[in-house]
Structure 1
Amino acid sequence: MGIEEARRIMMNHFANAARRFGLSELYGYIYGVLFFADEPLSLGEIAEKTGYSISHVSSALKLLESVGLVTRIKKPGDKKAYFTAIKNLKEWRKAAYYNKLLEDVQQTRINVQKALEEIEKDKSEEAEKIREKLKFMLKRNEITERIIKLLIKSDEEKLLEKLILCLDELEKERA
């Protein structure tokens, strides 16, 4: 029962992770099926293993592929598309979190800069308050962007260990 229970625990974990991101549990189950698969699976095989319809699985695979958690593979001489999950945790975190966070941070920067341009000539007190808030937001956003880029480019584990040491030092100073 150990192996099956371990699979069940992880399948539920993937389903709950999908729910935390506001998605159907289907996304987690698909990822879980592909995570445990020894070889790439076809759309039909994934639908069969998850119990969901081919159309639902197809839609979910498009999203999972777009965020980099699933890769589409073509086999020579076979017209079917096959899918595999990213299984390297470091690459998974980059694909699922860091790249999407970076995209959001970069879009935030663009929008804050546009908003600043809109009130550039306005010298009113209200515009000045908004400008200060936006400049603060831009500065925080810049720091966030640098941290995410570091996480993407560096040996993540070593960087995280150094960040933890810095956080521990800050906590000691505050105590």
Structure 2
Amino acid sequence: MGVERAKKIMMDHFANTARRFGLSELYGYIYGVLFFEDEPLSLGEIAERTGYSLSHVSTALKLLENLGLVKRIKKPGDKRAYYTAIKNIREWRKEAYYKKIEEDVRQTRESLLRALKAIEDEDSEEAIKLRERIEFALQRNAITERIIHIFLKNEEEEVLRVLLKCLEERLNGTKT
């Protein structure tokens, strides 16, 4: 009875998390079903356990796979795809989340540089303002790039601990 209650609490948590991110609760329920399984499940098994249609589950699995929360697996001699949840959230954040942010930051830098190049020969007041905004955005982008690089190259807990200590010292005006 306690195990089932604990699973229900976590399934509701995953569903609420999906809702907070603007997704259907289905995404949370799928992740929850896979999270508690030791073996990968087929699309049909996931649909049966969640009570949603195959097409809804298939669409949701594609997004969850793209986010790095679910992994598709092929079994030898079986044409069906099976799915498993990424259960080590620390690894997920490092491999999926931070890498996606890193890619977005890289693309942002490239766009900013192209925009800056597009106005390099212009001296209008509007071009000067735009150039200042782009240069400011490039500075912020460089800082973000450095922070993401630190998270990717080091243990997240250690980075957060050091960051928190530095911020507390800075904001409190003390050194420990």
- Gaps in structure 1 of 5+ consecutive residues: none
Write the distance in 2 (CA, Å) between the matches of 1:29 and 1:131.
Answer: 47
Q: Superposed, which structure 2 residues align to 1:38-77 within 5 Å? A: 38-77=38-77
> Residue 18 of structure 1 aligns with which residue?
18
Contact 1:67 1:95 in 2 (8 A): no
> Residue 148 of structure 2 aligns with which residue?
148
The 4+ residue runs of structure 1 with deviation greater than 3 A are none
Aligned length: 174
Cα distance, 1:32–1:96 mapped onto 2, change above 3 Å: farther
> Residue 124 of structure 1 aligns with which residue?
124
Q: Displacement, 1:119?
A: 1.1
> Residue 108 of structure 1 aligns with which residue?
108
Q: TM-score, normalised on structure 1? A: 0.92
AA aligned opposite 2:42:
S
Contact 1:72 1:83 in 2 (8 A): yes
Q: Secondary structure at the match of 2:173?
A: helix
1:112-133 Cα shifts (integer Å, max 9, x gaps): 1121111111111221111111
Larger displacement relative to structure 2 (12-21 or 22-31)? 12-21
Identity of aligned residues (%): 67
Q: Secondary structure at the match of 1:103?
A: helix
Q: Displacement, 1:15?
A: 1.5
Write the distance in 1 (CA, Å) between the matches of 2:104 and 2:22.
Answer: 17
> Residue 157 of structure 1 aligns with which residue?
157
Q: Displacement, 1:19?
A: 2.0
Q: Displacement, 1:84?
A: 0.5
- Gaps in structure 2 of 5+ consecutive residues: none
Q: Secondary structure at the match of 1:13?
A: helix
Q: TM-score, normalised on structure 2? A: 0.91
Contact 1:69 1:95 in 2 (8 A): no
Write the distance in 1 (CA, Å) between the matches of 2:106 and 2:21.
Answer: 20
Q: Displacement, 1:96?
A: 4.9
